[in-house]
Amino acid sequence: DAGVTQSPTHLIKTRGQHVTLRCSPISGHKSVSWYQQVLGQGPQFIFQYYEKEERGRGNFPDRFSARQFPNYSSELNVNALLLGDSALYLCASSLAGTENSPLHFGNGTRLTVT
């Protein structure tokens, strides 16, 4: 069975541009979460979606948005990119989106903003 898949794997953008990152969950998983991992730090929670509804949002500006589609895949959008947005963006899926439903992570999208 395929794990969580993310695309693209690497991306280089310029300050002020917009970016869309994509994620396909493990088959049967209905919840998708997004995390940002800056070099040398642990992942920070951005969003969680369950059954296409936003269940939670981390401490990120409104430039960050996301959505979940009927097939449970998800997109993370970031507008007006800043240099500080350079990071590894990790998508995770889980069966139910609750704490007793462990998160399974993809390999991430490495975003570099110049």
Please say whether the beta carbons of 11 and 19 come within 8 A. yes
Q: Output 87 or 92, the one with its CB closest to other proteins.
A: 92
Q: Output 25 or 97, the one with its CB closest to other proteins.
A: 97
Provide, rounded to whole angstroms, the least separation between the CB of residue 15 and other proteins: 25
Q: Output 80 or 96, the one with its CB closest to other proteins.
A: 96
Binding positions for other proteins, rule: CB under 8 A: 4, 33, 40-45, 48, 50, 55-56, 58, 90, 92, 97-100, 102-108
Please say whether the beta carbons of 109 and 8 come within 8 A. yes
